[in-house]
């Protein structure tokens, strides 16, 4: 997000990501006023209004900090909005780019963090990243052992899946927040699972500029960055294919120095 | 609800309706301890622990107050929980036993109340009950005019229907609360509609004992009761058939004096 209307209620409240007139995305978004396209950050210089510029705190590796601007804030914002705090039981569904950040952040906030995955082989990684427990979601007994117990579940999975399986794990007044947007809807949930424990399902989108800076500062304070694999831009197509196969731990970052190398080669 | 375990977290917080060991329903519920069945309130005397007895305030007609213990509290509780207040824009979906109470209560709380119905013929009744506006939900233009504008929508309809049609009417951080439990799930909702405005869907179940008394007091203060049609118990089968056809404004209440008449006849 590189701009927004700056005068709607959401913008004035520092929630530019919910700009009522539509924010300007970094990639292929309409510029405010002109409506011209933005062309993204795959460059060594980008012109952005100072109100939309963030400061990477000293001590954070810039490459490993880069994904914080998306995966970091997308998971930090709902954790804050729903007031996750020390001692609470927090579930994270899926261990990808978003999920691995959610595990680190929720752990740093003092929560008891349980990672849900369909892949038993992700157990060691999840524990190393900060999860206290790992539950394989295909194991009905393991799932049943956690019924009615979670304060908060962050669902990072963008593929359609059964939400009821997680809703029933929420305690009374528990919240499940969806940050993955599947192309097709998730299967319909059972209203009864919402009514009987006053549970809620909500969605959340990145974060505002002030909150994003707060997240960066929080990460610096707790020594948190994303797990990344840095590639030269020349390998982007291969990286994209690997990403589609979930063959990345956990975000690719493009080294912009390689852009000049490319330009030099082309010249 | 005539009893609950009294020691779980929810009971201790006055949220007996979410009793973690299962509350005792008035009708056909398991008694605490013995597990024996309860047999309902169709009688002139019922034995209930004093902790689960409510006082109908002076000035409320007992017959018209009776449905407050279900339709009243079921709609009052979420209005309070989600902090509906004066000046907010509140939608009520469906004008039945629950919906007509929601209109009265939300109006008394100072909200701007809009009733959604599939039946244009309910317009006059809804306005007379306190709705400021009525929107026929089958009219796409009328629905579109309210996009992104509601703070809170209470959905009282127990038949499966399209929730997305209402989700898109919620403003940022708006909440849609489901109090009707359909036998089959509603069609799946679009995650995008939750994410883009941080909207939420939740469920809610009656209310706790203290909150139910608070609701009764609120109703007495504002002169609110249910719209009822009182019948002798001898007409219960006919009333049931009419209820199935939505042919009641808005709740049947059985005159318990007629029970004795029946006993006398039988004798």
Q: Which CATH number does the domain housing residue B157 bear?
A: 3.40.50.720
> Cβ(A113)–Cβ(A132) under 8 Å?
yes
Residue of B nearest to A21 (CA): B148
Identify the segments of chain B with pLDDT beneath 50.
none
Residue B194 forms contact with A (CB below 8 Å)? yes
Whether residue A13 is found in the same domain as residue A46: yes
Q: State pLDDT tens for residues B144-177.
A: 999 999 999 999 999 999 999 999 999 999 999 9
Residues A27-44, mean pLDDT to the nearest whole number: 91
Residues B195 and B86 in one domain: yes
Q: Which of A180, A188, A199 shows the shortest C-beta gap to B202? A: A199
Alpha helix positions (H), B96-157: 97-108, 123-129, 140-144
Q: How far is CA A212 from CA A1, A29, A68, A79, in A?
A: 11, 20, 9, 13
Q: Cα separation of B128 and B138, whole Å?
A: 22
| Contact (CB<8Å) A172/B10 | yes
The Cα–Cα gap between B191 and A203 comes to: 7
Ramachandran bin of A165, using left for φ above 0, alpha for ψ from -120 to 50, beta for the remaining angles: alpha
Closest alpha carbon to B175 in B99, B109, B101, B81: B81
Euclidean distance between CA atoms B78 and B84, whole angstroms: 9
Q: Do B200 and A198 touch (CB under 8 A)?
A: no
User: For residues A120 and A59, is the Cβ–Cβ distance under 8 A?
Assistant: no
Query: Any chain A CB within 8 A of the CB of B225?
Result: no
Distance from CA of A246 to the nearest CA of B (A): 22
Residues sharing a CB contact under 8 Å with residue B95, sequence separation 6 or more, in sequence order: B103, B115, B117, B119, B122, B125, B126, B129, B250
Please list, in sequence order, all residues whose beta carbon lies within 8 angstroms of the beta carbon of residue B22, skipping any fewer than 6 positions away.
B4, B5, B30
Under 8 Å CB pairs connecting chains A and B tally to 103
Q: What percent of chain A has pLDDT over 90?
A: 93
Per-residue confidence (pLDDT) for residue B90, from 0 to 100: 98
Using an 8 Å CB-CB cutoff, list chain A residues near B187.
Answer: 188
Asked if the structure places residue B221 within a domain, the reply is no
Nearest by CB to residue B203, choosing from A187, A195, A204, is A195
Cα end-to-end distance, chain A, whole Å: 32
Q: Are A179 and A155 in contact (CB under 8 A)?
A: yes
Quick: pLDDT tens for A143-170.
999 999 999 999 999 999 999 999 999 9
Do A32 and A102 fall into the same domain? no
pLDDT at A266 over 90: no
The length of chain B, given as a count of residues: 267
Domain boundaries, position B161: 66-203
d(CA A159, CA A182) in angstroms, rounded, equals 5
The length of chain A, given as a count of residues: 267
**Nearest residue in chain B measured CA to CA from A176:** B200
Return mean pLDDT, chain B.
95
Question: How close A61 gets to chain B, by Cα (Å)?
Answer: 30
Task: Using a CB–CB cutoff of 8 Å, tell me whether B247 touches chain A.
Answer: no
**Residue B202 touches partner A, C-beta closer than 8 Å:** yes
Residue B181 and residue A191: Cβ atoms within 8 Å?
yes
Q: Find the closest chain A residue to B202 by CA distance.
A: A200
Residue A81: its chain B contacts at CB < 8 A? 198
Total structural domains in chain B?
A: 3
Q: Determine, yes or no, domain membership for A215.
A: no
A31 & A110 share domain: no
Do residues A118 and A15 share a domain?
Answer: no
Mean pLDDT of chain A: 95
Q: Would you state the pLDDT for residue B265?
A: 63
Answer whether B205 sits within 8 Å of A185, measured CB to CB.
no
Give pLDDT tens digits for A213-251. Answer: 999 999 999 999 999 999 999 999 999 999 999 899 999
Which residues lie closer than 8 Å to B60 by C-beta, 6 or more apart? Answer: B68, B216, B219, B220, B225
pLDDT of A137 > 80? The answer is: yes
With cut-offs at 50, 70 and 90, classify the pLDDT of residue A262.
low
The pLDDT score that the predictor gives to residue B261 is 77
Q: Helix A71-81 to helix A209-222 angle, to the nearest 10 degrees?
A: 100
Measuring CA to CA, which residue among B17, B41, B40, B38 is closest to residue B29? B38
8 Å CB contact of A185 and B186: no
pLDDT at A12 over 70: yes
Assigned domain for B61 exists:
no
Which pLDDT does position A260 carry in this prediction?
A: 84
User: Residue B120: inside a domain, yes or no?
Assistant: yes
Both A174 and A145 in a single domain? Answer: yes
Give the pLDDT score at B208. Answer: 98
- Nearest-neighbour CA in chain A from B182: distance (Å): 7
**ipTM over the 0.85 cut-off:** yes
């Amino acid at each position: 997000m590189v701009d927004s209307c700056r005068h709607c209620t959401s913008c004035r409240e520092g929630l530019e990501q919910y700009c009522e007139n539509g924010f300007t995305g970094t990639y292929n978004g309409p510029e405010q006023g002109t409506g011209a396209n933005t062309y993204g950050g795959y460059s060594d210089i980008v012109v952005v209004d100072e109100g939309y510029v963030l400061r990477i705190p000293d001590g954070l590796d810039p490459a490993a900090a880069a994904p914080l601007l998306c995966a970091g804030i997308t998971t930090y914002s709902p954790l804050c909005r729903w007031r996750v705090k020390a001692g609470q039981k927090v579930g994270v569904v899926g261990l990808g780019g978003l999920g691995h950040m959610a595990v680190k952040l929720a752990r740093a906030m003092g929560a008891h963090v349980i990672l849900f995955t369909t892949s038993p082989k992700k157990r060691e990684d999840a524990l190393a990243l900060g999860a206290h427990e790992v539950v394989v979601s295909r194991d009905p007994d393991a799932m049943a052992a956690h019924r009615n117990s979670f304060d908060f579940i962050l669902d990072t999975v963008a593929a359609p899946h059964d939400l009821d399986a997680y809703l029933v794990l929420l305690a009374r007044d528990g919240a499940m927040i969806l940050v993955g947007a599947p192309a097709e809807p998730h299967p319909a949930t059972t209203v009864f699972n919402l009514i009987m424990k006053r549970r809620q399902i909500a969605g959340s989108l990145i974060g505002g500029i002030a909150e994003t800076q707060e997240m960066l500062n929080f990460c610096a304070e707790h020594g948190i960055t994303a797990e990344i694999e840095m590639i030269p831009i020349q390998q982007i197509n291969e990286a994209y294919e690997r990403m589609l196969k979930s063959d990345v731990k956990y975000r690719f970052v493009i080294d912009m120095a390689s852009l000049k190398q490319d330009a030099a080669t082309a010249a």
